[in-house]
Amino acid sequence: MADEICTNLPERVCKGCGLKGHLMCRYQFRDTLHFFMIVLPFFTASIGGMIRAGFGWWLFGWLGYMLFFFFVWEARVLCSHCPYWAEEGRILHCHANYGVIKIWPYHPEPMNKSEQIQFIIGVLIFLLYPLVFTVVGGQYLLAGIGLVCAASFGYLLYSEICNRCVNFSCPLNNVPEEVRKAYLEKNPVMGEASKKTNEED
């Protein structure tokens, strides 16, 4: 499957491709660095808020949830539909979830409604977990800062990353339609799966 998707082919196949610069269709470390830079303020505010609120030990619960969400739940409902998931090997090389172990098979078809809803619920739990404890502990200023950081993360994610991401069926994806079509034409495995799903709907 990997050799049928241009994202996972040698970079020489990209020569002359008009999509270069419009999509994050090749892994680059700077994209991962960019992602973590925009989420870092939220992590900093959340960890500081929970510790100041007296719930430092509950950070282990948050860590446990993140491991479950990113490596199991999100990996199935979101990541397994991404062309990066089709790459050979057991480790995901992606700008956002780099290092996730691929325990699920690749699904070239788009996410269904259930998967999209599950993804949104999972993200909300991830974001709200530390904020709830910070509020309960009376650290309202830090909770407010955390909320602003979460909103900033969401805005920057949507406007700077999701508009170039190749996982087109993600609820946050906002890649222009003409760019999507051009990529799917280059990758008929995904294009046919997407077309079949649309016909069934």
The tens-digit pLDDT sequence of the chain (201 residues) is: 555 899 998 888 888 888 988 999 999 999 999 999 999 999 999 999 999 999 999 999 999 999 999 999 999 999 999 999 999 999 999 999 999 999 999 999 999 999 999 999 999 999 999 999 999 999 999 999 999 999 999 999 999 999 999 999 999 999 999 999 999 999 999 988 888 876 666
Show the DSSP H helices in 69-139 as ranges. Answer: 74-77, 113-136
C-alpha–C-alpha distance, residues 173 and 178, integer Å: 14
Cβ partners under 8 Å of residue 36, min gap 6: none
Give the model's pLDDT for residue 114: 98
Q: What share of the chain is helix, strand, coil (3-state, %, to 5)?
A: 65, 0, 30
The DSSP output letter for 13 is G
Give the model's pLDDT for residue 47: 97
Instruction: Return the C-alpha torsion angle 109, 163, 20, 87, nearest 10.
Output: -40
Mean pLDDT of the chain: 94
Give the model's pLDDT for residue 124: 98
Give the model's pLDDT for residue 200: 67
Give the model's pLDDT for residue 1: 55
Give the model's pLDDT for residue 199: 63
Give the model's pLDDT for residue 93: 95
C-alpha–C-alpha distance, residues 73 and 95, integer Å: 18
